[in-house]
Amino acid sequence: MKIRRLRFLNINSLRGEWEIDFTAGPLADAGLFAITGPTGSGKSSILDAITVALYGSVPRYGNERPEEIMTRHTAESFSEVEFEIRNVIYRSKWAIYRARKKSDGKIQPVQMELAELQSNTLLDLKPSEVPAKIEEITGLDKHRFMRSVMLAQGDFAAFLQAKEKERGELLEKITGLEIYSEISKEAYERDKNEKQKLAALESEINAEKLLSAEAIQELNEQMQGIENQTIEFKNQINEIQKQEEWLKKIAALEHDIARIEEQIAVNQQHLQAFKSEAARLQKHNELLPLRAEFQLVENKQAEVIAEENEQRNHENDLKICADKKDALEEKLKQNLAELQRAETRLKHEEPLIERTKDLDKEIAQQQKLVDTKTKDLQNLRETEKNLIRQTAQLKQRLAGNNHTLQENETWLQHNHNFAQLEKEWALINNLLTQIAALREAYKEAETEYKHYEHAVELLEEAQKSNMDVLKKNAVALQQTSDKISSMKTALNEKRAGRSADELDEENRVFAAQVTTLVIMQEIAERYSEIQQKSALFNESIGTLEAEIATTQTQAQTLAIQREQAEKERDLLQKIVEQNRRIAKYEDDRRHLHAGEACPLCGALDHPFVDPEHKFSETDDEKNWREKTGLCESLLREENELRLRLNGFETRLQNAIESRDQLEEDRQSKEKKFNSFNQQLENDFEISNLEGIKLAAEEIHEQRNNIETLQKELKEIESNLQTLAVREQELKEQSLTLSAELKSNEKQIAAQKLEKTNREKVLVAKREEGVERHEKLDALLEKYNEKTPRASELQDFENRMQKAMHEFLEKSQRNIELKNEQTALAAELAGEEKILTQKSLEREKYENELLSENNQLQEIQATRIELFGEQNPDEVLQSTRKAIEDTKTRLEQVRAEHAEAKSAWDKASARLASAEKKLETSRNQFQKMEADFLLALQKKGCASKEDYKAIFLSEEEVEGTTRKKKQLDDDAVRLAGNAEKTRRELEKEKSRKLTDNDAASLLKNRLEIEQLRSKSEQEKGEINERLRQNEALKKEFAATAKKIEKQQSVWQKWHRLSKLIGSSDGSVFSRFAQGLTLARLVQLANRHLVKLHDRYAIDKMPEADLELQIIDRYQADTTRPMRSLSGGESFLVSLALALGLSDLASRRNRIDSLFIDEGFGTLDADTLETAISTLENLQQSGKSIGVISHVEALKERLMTQIQLQKQSGGVSTLAVVDGGIPASGVDFGQ
């Protein structure tokens, strides 16, 4: 992978847009370049920009707040990197914005995109998917990328010098092996948690809560005694209740006899009162044959009344038509007169209108001419006014410009010294940079001096501490050996001659037997349930078959009844239809009211409105409606029975199928149970649930004993292993401490020598700084300035830059002011000439406009005198419209008049026809009425009024008949009931069940019920104790299963924890660190042999994380890493960093590398070696950037990316080659 180009905007302190092209210019030519600048200027920001463009985040900021990388007080930021991988070029971009592009706006969601440049294709990815796609393309996630591209040379230098305890933490940090510590801790914690869960389950089982067999037997015997006593109490209560019921029945019979006698007396009173109603009913029956004839007379009278009403309606219609015809004739005459008047007015007005229209045209033309002249005059006046204002403004600007020119020339004469500042600024800036670098170098040298001084103190303290630890280790080693011997003796005693495999086999056999017995218990319980359900289904099937037979019989009976009812209904329907033809006037009678005139005949007396004379529903209609309702009811009942029958049949079929299925299930369960019996070589009955449970509990107890022994043995073995490891650790630690004591003596001497060297460097840097300071003071004297302190540097640069820019601006402004003075004088002369011309032209237009206005007023006066203010077109149009409207109305009135005449003729014809029809109906009615009265007289009735008074309605006939029958039936029934009740009372008294009264019986029954209730309570308490005991048994069985399952889970995590687990994560982490370091040494040696063939890195055989150096020039002798010189240490740490880059990149070639610091502690010769090493590495085709403050390194690497701090906490960036800035870097400054 190779970084080709980087472009970014507003990243950290680098405000604005910048681009760095690694494929062109000096960076491509050099291959090896430096990234330089003061502390905080933004050197690391270049690496941040690359990382955020690829992965959307920066390690030092994290993923939560990506906006932290954005320059303060800016509204947007982006980073775009172009990289090449396996000859394919991609461009990845990251961007973030604030709302409305305002610096105080709300942060918007991050945008990311990825493009393949050779095909110019933007990949279809969501922003969140881009980092994963880049990881897929490059094979590197963010952390591996940082370890691959950013060489950890400085970290490895510290690793080589670290103590053993610190070495693991450093290696974990460098290589990213933290995950192995987490795995180790998680395995340890999970083992601990699962063991706690197991202990909690085991503590739930407490056998002391269960009842003993003797206690259960005693409770059962108590239960049987209580049940016998309860039965006796129940029998006594039943006997008393029978006696109470006997007394209640006698009292009830006596009460019934008294009630029936009262009802007989009431019935006799009702029969006496009914005699008058019975006589009227008899008279009604005698007149009943004349009912049809009476109905015909009534119908004919209603017909006459209706025809009289129809005649009056025709007379009213004729009068209305005549009135309408006369009114339209008058309206026709009025419209003819109005038309004549309008036509006369039009002939008079037409000549005046034509003359007025000619005058209006002349006025419009003259007005247009006046408006044009007026507008032109206004434009001339506005132009003249603008010219006057512009002339005054030019005179004012000319005076102001002259004053500014004089002030500017005075300032330039006073500050003539600054004319040379622009030429001398580069020299001043160079001296300032040198002084700043010397100050930084002095601070670094001072820091290094203090570092070595402190290192000597630490080494001497460590030497003393190691001696104390070595003594303590000897004591602990002897104690550990004694513990191991005693624990081995205890282990042999516990085993009693049995091996672990033998114990496992016994446990496995018991577990299998317990599992089989639990399954057999479940099968037996299911078998019992199946038998109970089968019995219920058999009972249900018998009930359903009886229901089906009964329902079928009922349905057949209803079908026969329905067919007979339908025949009777059809016959009655024909009779009803004939009767309805004579009742057509019934609706008209409903609108008549007593005392109000009839609209047909004008009569005030309405005999047929009286409810007694209304036509009531006939018996035939009532019977037909009842039969119709009966048919519908029978059909509904028949359908409901059919639906019930279908439901019964469906339920019967389902019950038979369910019973058969249960039988199959029962046989299957019985077969499985017998199979398990054979496996266990037992003869359990499937109904013997208790026997199966007891056998399972016995085997489970034997298995628990085996498991308890296994746990104790494993615990002892685990403790033995722990002690053995501790013994080995103590031995290794003692050997390591001895080696460290010897090594520390050498290091103390070396560190003291380094301390002396750093003191010499401090003196040299101080003298060089004084020399540069004096040279700069001499140069700044003519500008009234002195060499600034480090804290004053930014203010000094701002002042000098401001003064230089101000002098240049004033000089340029002086030239601009002189040119403006000449241009303004020429412009003023031209404006004054134009102003004179416009004034003369305005006076001419004013005279012409006055003449045209006078002519316009004369024409307007003539027009008003002729036609006033009226619009001639509107007047003419109004008159013509009035004539057209009058003609339209005239035609409409003529049409309406013809229509009214035709309506009047038709109304006259209808009236004549109605009068003729009425005469015929009256004659028929008079004849029918005379015949009916003659028939009445023969029956002994004088008039129709007498007939109406005697004749009853159908409801009255039915009610009276029903009432008579009811009274007769009640008399017979009550007499029979009285006799029957007396006989029943005598019979009941003869039983003589008790001599006690009801109160005595109630008292005895309550006492016995209280005793029975107490017995029931005692029985309930015993039942509850037995139920709780059974529940505990089931609960303990379920808990045993949970314990077995949890035991398996814990064993799995316990084995894993023994292998890799530890509370601090060190066990697995140290193992992984050892493997990683071995692989890292292999990869590092491949690079080291290229850098220098003298050395090779090797792991010390007795220490996981200790390295040593092999010297090929000294017969492959080995020596510790602390013995390396500064240059040798740099070579080894660089090789390790390159090896880590290879390890992290997963065989992907990395052609872009960066090294951050690590050169500050090198002397001149070692630094030369380091640079030569990097140049050799660059020759392999890699692009290498070195981030450093070391002045000598800056002078040696002439190709640089320089960063300079500016005011406001921002920096600038430039690519320079030999001190000359390269082009194409800055896009936004």
**Tokens linked to 631:** 């048919």
Is the pLDDT score of 94 beyond 80? yes
Cα angle 56-58-59, degrees, rounded to a multiple of 5: 130
Beta bridge partners of 21: 5
Note the pLDDT tens digit of each residue in 120-149.
Answer: 899 999 999 999 999 889 888 887 787 777
What is the helix (H) or strand (E) element at residue 769, kind and residue range? Answer: helix 689-780
Q: pLDDT value at position 217? A: 79
Phi, psi dihedral angles at 56 (to 5 degrees): 80, 5
Q: Starting at the earlier edge strand, list the strands of the sheet with 1152-1156.
A: 150-151, 1152-1156, 1183-1187, 32-36, 1199-1205, 1211-1217, 1220-1221
**Tokens linked to 191:** 């083992």
Q: Select the highest-mean-pLDDT range: 125-139, 212-226, 331-345, 529-543.
A: 125-139
Domain boundaries, the chain: 522-679
The total of other beta-carbon atoms located within 10 Å of residue 457's CB is 11
DSSP state of 1224: S
Q: pLDDT value at position 616? A: 47
Note the pLDDT tens digit of each residue in 827-849.
Answer: 888 887 888 887 888 788 788 88
Mean pLDDT of 1142-1157: 72
**150-151 and 1152-1156: which strand pairing?**
parallel
How close are the terminal C-alpha atoms of the chain, in Å? 31
Residues in Cβ contact with 309 at an 8 Å cutoff, skipping those fewer than 6 apart: 588, 598, 599, 600, 601
Is the pLDDT score of 633 beyond 80? yes
Distance CA 154, CA 1159 (A): 8
DSSP state of 56: S
Mean pLDDT of 577-581: 62
Distance CA 1178, CA 1185 (A): 10
DSSP state of 62: B
Whether the CB-CB separation of 61 and 50 falls below 8 Å is answered with no
Distance CA 555, CA 641 (A): 6
Note the pLDDT tens digit of each residue in 402-444.
Answer: 888 888 888 887 877 777 776 777 777 777 787 877 777 777 7
Backbone torsion region of residue 1062, taken as left when φ is above 0, otherwise alpha when ψ lies between -120 and 50, otherwise beta: beta
Q: pLDDT value at position 54? A: 93
3-state SS class at 884: helix
Closest CA to 14 of 1185, 1225, 1203: 1203
**1211-1217 and 32-36: which strand pairing?**
unpaired
Is the pLDDT score of 1191 beyond 70? no
The total of other beta-carbon atoms located within 10 Å of residue 991's CB is 10
Residues in Cβ contact with 127 at an 8 Å cutoff, skipping those fewer than 6 apart: 56, 109, 110, 111, 112, 113
**Tokens linked to 523:** 């099968």
Closest CA to 718 of 729, 708, 726, 706: 726
Note the pLDDT tens digit of each residue in 974-1025.
Answer: 888 888 888 888 888 888 888 888 788 888 888 888 888 888 888 888 888 8
Instruction: Give the CA count within 13 Å in the CB-facing half-sphere of 1141.
Output: 23
Residue 1079: pLDDT band (50, 70, 90) is: confident
**Tokens linked to 910:** 């209808």
Closest CA to 92 of 43, 142, 45: 142
Whether the CB-CB separation of 600 and 306 falls below 8 Å is answered with yes
Site of tokens 């685990």: 718
One-letter identity of residue 90: Y
Burial of 314 (0-12, 13-18, 19+ CB in 10 A): middle
Long-range contacts, stretch 517-523, CB < 8 angstroms, 24+ apart: 517/680, 517/692, 517/695, 517/696, 517/699, 518/696, 518/1037, 518/1041, 519/676, 520/673, 520/676, 520/677, 520/684, 520/692, 521/689, 521/692, 521/693, 521/696, 523/669, 523/672, 523/673, 523/676, 523/686
**1152-1156 and 121-122: which strand pairing?**
unpaired
State the average pLDDT for the chain. Answer: 78
Mean pLDDT of 288-298: 72
3-state SS class at 942: coil
Closest CA to 142 of 157, 132, 127: 132
Whether the CB-CB separation of 627 and 565 falls below 8 Å is answered with yes
3-state SS class at 1102: coil
Distance CA 244, CA 247 (A): 5
Is the pLDDT score of 612 beyond 50? no
Q: pLDDT value at position 970? A: 83
One-letter identity of residue 1196: R
Q: pLDDT value at position 607? A: 55
DSSP state of 75: S
Q: pLDDT value at position 1224? A: 39
Q: pLDDT value at position 10? A: 92
One-letter identity of residue 749: A
Distance CA 98, CA 76 (A): 6
Is the pLDDT score of 53 beyond 90? yes
Residue 1227: pLDDT band (50, 70, 90) is: very low
Note the pLDDT tens digit of each residue in 589-610.
Answer: 566 666 665 555 555 555 555 5
3-state SS class at 1209: helix
Task: List for the chain the helix, strand, coil content (%; round to 5).
Answer: 80, 10, 15
Mean pLDDT of 519-535: 78
DSSP state of 618: P
Which tops the pLDDT comparison, 189 or 925? 189
Whether the CB-CB separation of 988 and 246 falls below 8 Å is answered with yes
Closest CA to 1 of 112, 82, 116: 82
Q: pLDDT value at position 133? A: 93
Phi, psi dihedral angles at 906 (to 5 degrees): -65, -40
Note the Cα 803 to chain centre separation in Å.
62
Note the pLDDT tens digit of each residue in 314-355.
Answer: 888 888 888 887 888 888 888 888 878 877 877 777 787 888
**1107-1111 and 1117-1120: which strand pairing?**
antiparallel
